[in-house]
Structure 1
Amino acid sequence: MRHRRLSSVAAPVRGLAKKLLGGKAAVEASVMLDWPAIVGTEIAERCQPRKLARGRGANAGAATLHLTVDAPFALEIQYSAAQIVERVNRYLGYPAVARLALHQGELLREEKPRLPQIPPLAAPTRQQLDQDISGIADDGLRQALDRLGQAVLAKPGPDRR
């Protein structure tokens, strides 16, 4: 038997976050993670932050926010640049971004999780489920219970009908 001691969670999490964020600063990570909340869903559907590049030398205080933009909306995003910079700076609490750089390209879209397909129930099981939920007056609740019942009853098991 091996006994493991309790260990700090901070070290592994820090290493994992560094790998996931690719060494990006916390400011850049927060802008990327909270993008829809910062600029609104309408703008967020048309562009995504790519990176936050800090200036060097004489431009040390100025940062450029690079955005990937859907090609049909590039001009619209360009016209909204001042508003986007203002929203990002307001979110961060200080003037971190001085300008935007737009790059036309395909946006990374999150796939919405699909509900698993439930196999059809055998006729006697289906009839029993319909009978069990027939007394429920609320349509939404009845439909939800029907889906739940189908999912539960479709799984093989010793105590299934």
Structure 2
Amino acid sequence: MSYPPRRRSRGFRQAASLVAEPIRHAAEGRGFAVARLLTHWPDIAGPDIAARARPVKIAHSRGGFGATLTLLTTGAAAPLVEMQLPQIRERVNACYGYNAISRIIVTQTAPTGFAEGRPQFDHAPAAPPVDDPKTRDAAQAMTADIADPALQAAMTRLAMLKLSREGRTNRKATK
């Protein structure tokens, strides 16, 4: 018995219907049975909580009832999120329609995670050159043959830094 070929839909489809299935699979992989918790987090948790925390995963216990929701927040906002955990739990359970979440864990880290995040290291500002007339004259003598005035000024500053650093090193060695 052969079935007639399935008719393909013609015309335009809503964009949401095109991405609904991949989003559902990705959300279920992280434990989210209802993807609405991810996609409408600011509406569910409220704008103040959504600005400070976001849901990361839901873990279900083996034989117990209720799941554990893990929220990601920065270290500074963690105490504020901790104070609002009962309200967050009520709002999330209202999204599910029953007491799906029994516990919430707050994780404090950078919002980008370990792989993407890089610590910010600010370099210490360079020590200003010692404004010694002898050092300045020696640096200007070294850079006198440079024709470009901007380059000459930069090289003079570099020479002053180098000469003043050598002077400090020699003073330490003689003490």
Q: 1:13 to 1:32 in 2, by over 3 A?
A: closer
The reply to whether residue 39 of structure 1 matches residue 45 of structure 2 is yes
Q: Which has the higher contact order (CA 8 A, sep 6+)?
A: 1
Q: Report the secondary structure of 2:107's partner residue.
A: strand
State the one-letter code of the partner of 1:52. Answer: I
Residue 27 of structure 1 corresponds to 33
Q: Report the residue type matching 2:55 in the other structure.
A: P
Which of these residues, 85, 94, 115, is aligned with residue 90 of structure 1? 94
**Cα gap change, 1:25 to 1:65, in 2 (>3 Å):** closer
Q: Distance in 2 between matches of 1:18 and 1:37?
A: 19
Output the CA distance in 2 between the equivalents of 1:98 and 1:62.
5
1:121-148 per-position Cα deviation (integer Å, ceiling 9, x unaligned): xxxxxxxxxxxxxxxxxxxxxxxxxxxx
TM-aligned CA distance change 1:14 to 1:78, over 3 Å: closer
TM-score (norm 2): 0.49
- Following superposition, which runs of at least 4 residues in structure 1 exceed 4 angstroms of deviation? 12-15
- Bigger Rg, which one: 2
Give me the CA root mean square deviation. Answer: 2.8
**Gap regions ≥5 residues in structure 2:** 1-5, 113-175
Distance (Å, rounded) in 1 between the aligned partners of 2:26 and 2:8: 22
Task: Provide Cα deviations, 1:29-71, integer angstroms capped at 9, x if missing partner.
Answer: 22111110001111000000001111112x1x21000000121
Letter in 1 for 2:71: L
Q: Is residue 2:55 matched to residue 1:55?
A: no
One-letter amino acid matched to 1:42: D
- 1:28–1:52 CA contact under 8 A, matched in 2: no
For structure 1, the 5+ residue unaligned runs are 109-161
- Indicate conservation of the 8 Å contact 1:28/1:51, yes or no: no
Where 2:36 maps in the other structure, the secondary structure is: helix
Count of residues in correspondence between the two structures: 101
